[in-house]
Amino acid sequence: MTLPIAVCVSGRGSNLQALIDAIEQRRLDARIVLVACSRAGVPALDRAARAGIPSGVFPVTKATRSEAQAAMGQAIKGSGARLVVLAGYDRILADAFWDALGEVPVINIHPSLLPAFGGLNGMKVHQAVVAAGATESGATVHRAYRGKLDEGEILVQRRVPVSPRDTPETLADRVLAAEHDALVQAVGLFVPAAAS
């Protein structure tokens, strides 16, 4: 049975694209019913438009976070999504979001082997991994909950070796490929089994 999902994004949207591609290629039995974005004019919105997916921009500033995210939660609830995917959504979610969303489960992708290097975003994660001299990094998809950052049951993890020659940029490229795979697999865990 096809799973309706909402995807929350903030920028480039390559994880969103991985989901779009997997759905188009029938590797994932899901339908993206809404792309919700924290910024106007970002590539993720172009990706949604090219795929014919409805999108909404809920711009977040310090002053408007609660209102904007409440509106985002309401829009997601109204879209009929049965799963929310945080795919590069770079803002902490206010209580008003969770209140509006209700019981819909939320998952998040993070570019490290959580719990290692949690609490950071995007390239800052890879900079910290390289600076720490870690020999391994990776991608994690986990359940996300009210008031928690990069915590929640781990659903899928992919390991990526770090070489002494890696820069944050070269590491980010390899981890990103692992993220795309891990995210498709994790969303697949929520697809209801077809009735027999």
Residues that bind ligand GAR (CB under 6 A): 9, 11-15, 87-88, 109-111, 121-122, 125, 176, 179
SS3 18: helix
The CB-of-107 to ligand GAR minimum distance in angstroms stands at 12
Identity of the residue, 73 or 88, whose beta carbon is nearer to ligand GAR in the bound complex = 88
C-alpha pair distances (Å), 46 with each of 42, 107, 112, 118, 139: 7, 23, 27, 29, 25
| DSSP class per residue in 22-90 | HHHTTSS-EEEEEEEESSTT-HHHHHHHHTT--EEE----TTTHHHHHHHHHHHHHHHT-SEEEESS--
Identity of the residue, 74 or 121, whose beta carbon is nearer to ligand GAR in the bound complex = 121
Residue nearest to ligand GAR (CB): 88
Which residues are bridge partners to 158 per DSSP? 139
The CB-of-78 to ligand GAR minimum distance in angstroms stands at 24
The CB-of-64 to ligand GAR minimum distance in angstroms stands at 21
DSSP label of 149: S
Identity of the residue, 28 or 109, whose beta carbon is nearer to ligand GAR in the bound complex = 109
User: Does 110 qualify as catalytic in the annotation?
Assistant: yes
Alpha-carbon gap, residue 186 to 194, rounded angstroms: 18
Identity of the residue, 14 or 79, whose beta carbon is nearer to ligand GAR in the bound complex = 14
- In 10 A of CB 163, how many CB atoms? 9
**Residue 192: cis peptide before it, omega within 30 degrees of 0:** no
The CB-of-125 to ligand GAR minimum distance in angstroms stands at 6
Identity of the residue, 65 or 110, whose beta carbon is nearer to ligand GAR in the bound complex = 110
- In 3D space, the residue among 94, 49, 102 whose CA is nearest the CA of residue 78 turns out to be 102
Q: Which of 110, 126, 142, 180 is catalytic?
A: 110
The CB-of-11 to ligand GAR minimum distance in angstroms stands at 5
List, by residue number, the catalytic residues. 110
